[in-house]
Amino acid sequence: MEKKKRNIVEWAMHYRQIIIMVVCCLIAFGIYSLPNMRKDEFWSKFKHGVQNFKAQLPSNVLALQVNDDFGDTSSLLITMATEAILDDDADKYSVYFPEAVIKFKQLSYNEASSPIEVRLSNTNEKVLTGDAEKVMEIMKAMPELTLVRTNFNEPQATTMIRLKEDEAARLGITNATIETTLAMRYGSGMSIANVWEGDHQVPIVLKSNRSDHSNTDDLLNEQIPVAGGLKTVPLRQVADLVPSTQYGQIVRRNGVPTIAYLLVFEGTEKESQRVLDIEKE
């Protein structure tokens, strides 16, 4: 055994240049692999999604599915015979799905996805939304504009929780207490682990069984902790529910509410050639 070890050491010393080169290559490979591990996981997940998506499409259609951090973006790459077909399909399918915004874009190096933005800013949100509706009517009346929308999204039916100040003060309940409690029970959940199905990562989320679907009675019966969590009271005892409407999101620039209109021009001409028409209106 001792003789074998001595022979190995002698061989390594004799070919020390080769040994040093191999060790340097292994170290370089390890250093290069560290920042690329997440990239490899991304591409494996990306290829898995593309393969599953392609199986649902007819032949001769090239599909590409891309999900951003919010999981709400997807694309299709389709070859068409002429540009006229693109214009016809844009009118037909722009409002085909009520819960999605369908936009046809010819592959070219244009300036931006929404090259024209009209922004309105006001510290008073009621005045801002009122003026925004007037501008929206003017833009929708222009035939060369399609998919006129704002970054506030559409108004949505919501339920406002109005705290009973006297009752809540006696129990030591604040708006922050109710907000934190309901956010844990009606939010997207808490990620506790991840499992892998081949190359696809699936998160395990802990959340309430009413987080995806509930009614006003479920909300009023939610138990709110008091006395440091030793006891609970139903929400109906310390708050009332008021129906309301809210925009999908409220965007602020430098702290001021700002509505931006995202415009898409009809046809395949360059958008920069039609800016003057918008300025005249």
**What's the residue count for the chain?**
281
CA distances to 172, 205, 206, 237 from 184, in Å: 20, 12, 10, 20
Q: What is the CATH number of domain 162-236?
A: 3.30.2090.10
| Domain(s) of CATH 3.30.2090.10: residues in the chain | 162-236
Buried (b) or exposed (e) across 191-219, using 16+ Cβ within 10 A?
eeeeeeeeeeeeeeeeeeeeeeeeeeeeb
pTM higher than 0.75: no
Within 10 A of 9 (CB to CB), how many other CB atoms are there?
A: 10
In eight-state DSSP terms, residue 71 is S
Query: In tens digits, what is the pLDDT along the chain, a chain of 281 residues?
Result: 566 666 776 777 777 788 788 888 888 776 666 555 454 555 566 566 656 655 555 554 555 444 544 445 555 556 666 666 666 776 677 667 666 666 666 655 444 455 567 788 888 888 888 888 888 888 777 777 777 777 787 778 888 889 988 888 888 888 888 888 888 888 777 888 888 888 888 888 888 887 778 888 888 888 888 877 788 899 999 999 998 888 777 788 888 888 887 776 665 555 555 665 666 65
Residue 64 backbone class (left: φ over 0; alpha: ψ -120 to 50; beta: rest)? beta
- One-letter amino acid of 14: H
The pLDDT assigned to 70 comes to: 44
DSSP assignments along 209-220, one per residue? TTSSS--HHHHH
Helix (H) or strand (E) holding 157: strand 155-163
First-last CA distance in the chain: 93
